[in-house]
Each structure stands twice: as structure tokens, then as C-alpha cells.
Structure 1
């Protein structure tokens, strides 16, 4: 395994969802470095509307409601050590609801980019095994 972090952040979002993608990528990189994650890592981020996040929340978590962020690990069980045969570690998917992020940003008097960054990092922490009640 490489002693450095080689990160690919794949972001998929409808063009109408404007946010600072570079900021999100840099924040994810900083978090993974802080957590001492090394090697070739891939993370997928999807920014969606309320209908899509509600559909995913119901399908995978059994909750028929809109939420701000979901995360789906690509590892079962999660393991962040790669072997010599593994070329990349697919960390997982983080799904952010744009309209909920926007509402929360206004409510908390934050920039939308700050809230999206916060939600993405929250999702990444879940992928790294940090959970809350």
C-alpha cells in the first residue's frame, strides 16, 4: 500500500445544483489525511433532490422521509486496510439532498457551500465507522 493518499472524488450532480466542488474535494482530502487514510481511495458523491433522497432512504433504511445526507459503504464489513492485490479502496457513496442543505444553511446562517461540505464530511465519517445515535 502506498504511504500517501491518492484520492479520486467522483461528484455527480444536476447542473442546477450549484456548489463549490473543489472545496468539497479539498475538505474530503483533509479529513482522510487527518484520519491517516493512505493509498488509492475512491469516493462517490451524489447531490440529489428531495424525491431521490427520500426514495433511497426508504429503499435502504426503511424510512419514508427526506433527509439531508445518506452514506453507503462499498465494503462489508468496512475495512480500510488494503492488500497488495487491491489497487483501489472504494470507500463508498455519500448522497446529499441539495434543497435540504440549502434550507439548513439559511436556518443556520451559513453559506450553502459550508453546509454541503459539512454534510459530505458527515457522510464520510460514517463511511469511516464514526456513528451517532
Structure 2
């Protein structure tokens, strides 16, 4: 997807999030970086509109969100955010930090199935 909205005021926060090196995101990133997952190019920590998504696949218009304990109190925020991203024509694949940490093989297989189901022609 080209020309997605971009809020430049989020750049400092984006840099902080990348520096933080959140373990779960790093574990997932090691599985997908440098086109190691089916030769797909993933971006980590991408600004879309007024949000920073965990991972983004530009060629597919796919957002990957890893939900941790902090999302338990943000259901309304997450719903508004998801509706906004979907209004841009993006698809969202949600996974839990627990599954990334404890079932990474299953997560990757589920991601593969999601891509096949949603993007095969």
C-alpha cells in the first residue's frame, strides 16, 4: 500500500520504541527480518496515521500486532485503532505476546495461513 497517512510528530516515540528492544518483538523480528519468512519484507515499528504498528508488510498492506498485558485495559482504544487501519484497506493479524514467547512455531504457521487465506489469488 502506498501513501499511507504519516504523523511526523511520532518519530521520537518510534525511536524510543525501537531502542527499548521489547523481547517479544525482538523474538518475532528474528523470524521475519531480512526477508527470511517466505521472502516477505517486514518493517518493524511503522508509523501509520497517528499510530505506531508493531510490524508492517507494505506489499500486502498487512499489519501484525503483538498484544501484551497492556492491551487488557485498552479494548476500546484497540478497536478504534483497528477500525482506522482497516478503513485504509489494511488487514490486521493479531497475536499475543504469550504465544510469541511460548508457541512461536504455531504463530508463524498461523501467520502463513493468514497470508494464504487473505492474499492468494
* TM value normalised by structure 2: 0.31
Q: Could you say which structure has the greater relative contact order, defined with CA pairs below 8 angstroms and 6 or more residues apart?
A: 1
* TM value normalised by structure 1: 0.29
Would you tell me which structure has more strand in proportion to its own residues?
A: 1
Rg comparison, structure with higher value: 1
